[in-house]
Amino acid sequence: MATEAAGEGTGLQFHPMDQFIVRPLFGDGPVQWYTPTNVTLWMFVTLLAIIGLLVVGTRGRAIVPSRIQSIAELSYGMIYKMVEDVTGKDGIKYFPYIMTLFLFIVFSNFLGLLPEAFTTTSHIAVTGVLAMAVFITVTVIGFMKNGAGFLGLFWVTSAPLVLRPVLAVIEIISYFVRPVSHSIRLAGNMMAGHAVMKVFAGFAAIAVISPVSILAVTAMYGLEVLVAFIQAYVFTILTCVYLKDALHPAH
C-alpha cells in the first residue's frame, strides 16, 4: 500500500482505481493481444502457486501428510464434497473443471492481496470469460444429457397453468442473466474491496486522521482476506448449482 504518499493537504497522491490499469511489463507501448502485461505476470504466478501446492506439495504422497500436502488434500476434499452434495453422483464427472475454477480464482484473489500485486480477477474481462465458459458448458451439457427436455427448466410444472407462460419468461431472463451476475459478482467484489483499501490508504497522507485510516486499512484487509475466499467459494458453488440444473432440469 502506498501509505507513504507525502505532502499534507495536497489531496490524494494517487487515484484509487490506478491499481487496475493494465500495463505492459517491458517498455510502455500500446497493449496488443500478445503483449506481456502485469495481468499475464500475475496469472503466471497464480499458475505457479497452484502447481506448487498440488504437484510439488503432494510429491511425497506421505501417509502422514506434511503441511502443504494437508492443505492440498483439504481443498481437494472440500470441493469434491461440494460437487457431490450439490450435483449428486452424476456430477462427479465434472469435478476436475470445478476444481480448476476454484483454485484459479482463490489463488488470484489471495495473490492480489499482496501489496503491489495485480488482482487478475478484478477485471470483468477475466471473470467474464470464466463465467461465459461455465454458461456455455452448462448449456451444452444440459442439451446433450436431456435433449429438448432441458427446456423443461423454464416450464415450472408445479405452478398453476395460467402462471406458467409468465414464469417461463422470468425463468428465461434469469437464465441469460446468469453469466452477467456470475462474473460481475466476483469482479465487483474484488474491485470494490481493493478500491476501498486504496481510498483509506490515501487518507493516511493527512496527518490528523492517519492513525484512523491505517486502522481502517488493516480492518479492511482482514475483511478482504475473508471476501477473497468467500467469493471463490460462491463462484464455485454457483457453478455446481448451474450444473445441477443442467443435469436434472425438472423443477
Is there binding between residue 86 and other proteins (CB under 8 A)?
yes
Give the C-alpha separation, 117 to 140, whole Å. Answer: 36
Closest CA to 176 of 131, 121, 146, 144: 131
Stretch in the footprint of other proteins (CB under 8 A) among 67-75, 80-88, 165-173, 201-209: 80-88
Q: How far is the CB of 69 from other proteins (least distance, A)?
A: 26
Is there binding between residue 181 and other proteins (CB under 8 A)?
yes
User: What is residue 56's DSSP assignment?
Assistant: I
Q: How far is the CB of 192 from other proteins (least distance, A)?
A: 7
Is there binding between residue 234 and other proteins (CB under 8 A)?
yes
Q: Which residues 6+ apart lie within 8 Å of 135 measured at CB?
A: 178, 179, 182, 242
- Residue 69 or 189 having the CB closest to other proteins: 189
Is there binding between residue 203 and other proteins (CB under 8 A)?
no
- Residue 73 or 85 having the CB closest to other proteins: 85
- Residue 107 or 242 having the CB closest to other proteins: 242
Rg (CA), the chain: 22
Select from 189, 201, 217, 239 the one that contacts other proteins (CB under 8 A). 189
Binding mask 213-232 for other proteins (x = CB under 8 A): -----------------x--
The 10 Å CB-count burial string (b at 16+, else e) for 204-222 is bbbeeeeeebbebbeebee
Residue 27 backbone class (left: φ over 0; alpha: ψ -120 to 50; beta: rest):
left
Stretch in the footprint of other proteins (CB under 8 A) among 45-53, 54-62, 112-120, 181-189: 181-189
Is there binding between residue 85 and other proteins (CB under 8 A)?
yes
Is there binding between residue 122 and other proteins (CB under 8 A)?
no
Closest CA to 133 of 106, 173, 86, 97: 97
Is there binding between residue 20 and other proteins (CB under 8 A)?
no
Q: Which residue has the cell 479492511?
A: 220
Is there binding between residue 185 and other proteins (CB under 8 A)?
yes
Cell readout for 233 is: 467459494
Is there binding between residue 16 and other proteins (CB under 8 A)?
no
Closest CA to 123 of 202, 17, 13, 26: 17
- The residue ranges that bind other proteins (CB under 8 A) are 82, 85-86, 181, 184-185, 188-189, 192, 230, 233-234, 237-238, 241
